[in-house]
């Protein structure tokens, strides 16, 4: 296969954003189709270069082909939709039934999240695992919210150590997820501003007292409702084919859920805090695509350097 066709297939691969196993199968089928077409064109009397140009013209834009393949392969099954929405459903049930204060249920939930994330990460990062992965970051978020309220000496010692480590850990996870698909990074981080909003509602001073627990009891049904809303969002996300619809769904759902939090908070979230949470949400949506562009640019530069050095080595 000529260099131009190899680059064409590489462009398609870079824009596919589907499961690795499906990607290999699709690219293999596409290579076979291109090879067959090249042979037909050569038998018709065209030279290698002419056949390649004709074949590329018949195939069309690499990005368009990648989008069509994505829409054909991106829709998840109802089983995958259920698996992806399950962590939101479980957290919603914990609060709706007021089981959140039972250490046994919380331990089971955290253990289930950890086991599921490890299983999904080892088995090729399927689409449904990323919503579980977001909840594995929950302890990191909670600790970060509590640190400023420690005694002054402990706070000054812990914060400089915690935040670099937490940001490094978050960056590593987001980078790995973005390499799979930046949209899954946004899906993974979607609950973060909602969780922060409820935390600031029930514990505005960052301290858990008897009064705080009473407030959690009061808000538990609405907290559960917000998680159930996220569950429906993720189920719809898995079932949608078009990428732009998935992006729009996450943005609209995030805004509506934050609005729900502010409404049921009954004035306990100030307008400034609400706007700040929206900005956090937009940041979580904008960072993954920017990171994806940076990673892709780095890969292109690396490939150019390899392709530049390879002929020199062969010549030697």
Mean pLDDT for 127-154 is 75
Q: How many CB atoms lie within 10 A of CB 20?
A: 12
Question: Regarding predicted confidence, which is higher, 306 or 164?
Answer: 164
The pLDDT of residue 230 is: 93
| Residue 274, pLDDT above cutoff 50 | yes
Tens-place pLDDT, residues 97-123: 888 888 888 888 888 988 998 898 888
Tokens of 165: 């480590």
CA distance 39 to 153: 75
For the ranges 33-42, 118-127, 152-161, the lowest mean pLDDT is seen at 152-161
Q: What are the Cα distances from residue 226, in Å, to 191, 192, 285? A: 9, 12, 19
Q: Which residues contact residue 141 at a Cβ distance below 8 angstroms, ignoring those fewer than 6 apart?
A: 192, 195, 196
Q: For 45, left (φ over 0), alpha (ψ -120 to 50), or beta? A: left
How sure is the predictor about 314, in pLDDT bands with cuts at 50, 70 and 90? very low
The pLDDT of residue 231 is: 95
Looking up tokens 């400089």 gives 160
Mean pLDDT for 168-189 is 87
Question: Regarding predicted confidence, which is higher, 182 or 56?
Answer: 182
CA distance 263 to 141: 23
Mean pLDDT, the chain, integer = 83
Tokens of 149: 């309220």
The pLDDT of residue 222 is: 92
Tens-place pLDDT, residues 179-232: 888 999 999 989 988 988 998 888 777 666 777 888 888 899 999 999 999 999
CA distance 118 to 133: 9
Burial annotation 235-274 (CB, 10 A radius, 16+ → b, else e): bbbbbbeeeeebbebbeebbeebbebbbebbeeebeeebb
How sure is the predictor about 270, in pLDDT bands with cuts at 50, 70 and 90? confident
The pLDDT of residue 252 is: 93
Burial annotation 51-73 (CB, 10 A radius, 16+ → b, else e): bbebbbeebeebeebbbebbeeb
Mean pLDDT for 143-167 is 69
């Amino acid at each position: 296969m000529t260099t131009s066709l190899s680059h064409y297939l590489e462009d398609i691969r870079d824009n596919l954003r589907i499961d690795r196993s499906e990607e290999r199968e699709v690219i293999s089928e596409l290579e076979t189709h291109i090879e067959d077409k090249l042979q037909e064109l050569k038998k018709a009397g065209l030279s290698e270069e002419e056949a390649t140009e004709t074949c590329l013209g018949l195939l069309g834009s690499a990005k368009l082909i990648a989008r069509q393949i994505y829409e054909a392969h991106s829709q998840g099954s109802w089983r995958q939709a259920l698996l992806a929405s399950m962590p939101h459903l479980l957290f919603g049930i914990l609060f709706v039934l007021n089981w959140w204060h039972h250490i046994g249920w919380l331990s089971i939930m955290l253990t289930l999240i950890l086991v599921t994330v490890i299983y999904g990460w080892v088995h090729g990062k399927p689409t449904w695992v990323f919503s579980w992965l977001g909840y594995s970051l929950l302890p990191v978020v909670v600790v970060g919210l509590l640190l400023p309220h420690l005694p002054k000496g402990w706070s000054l010692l812990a914060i400089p150590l915690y935040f670099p480590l937490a940001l490094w850990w978050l960056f590593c996870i987001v980078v790995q997820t973005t390499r799979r698909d930046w949209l899954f990074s946004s899906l993974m981080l979607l609950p973060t501003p909602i969780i922060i909003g409820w935390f600031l509602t029930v514990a505005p001073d960052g301290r858990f007292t008897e009064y705080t627990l009473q407030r959690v009891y009061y808000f538990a049904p609405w907290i559960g409702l917000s998680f159930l809303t996220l569950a429906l969002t993720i189920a719809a996300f898995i079932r949608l084919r078009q990428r732009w619809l998935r992006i729009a769904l996450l943005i609209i759902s995030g805004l509506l859920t934050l609005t729900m939090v502010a409404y049921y908070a009954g004035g306990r979230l100030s307008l400034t805090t609400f706007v700040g949470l929206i900005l956090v949400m937009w940041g979580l949506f904008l960072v993954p695509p920017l990171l994806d562009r940076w990673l892709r640019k780095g890969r292109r530069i690396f490939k150019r350097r390899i392709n530049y050095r390879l002929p020199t080595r062969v010549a030697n």
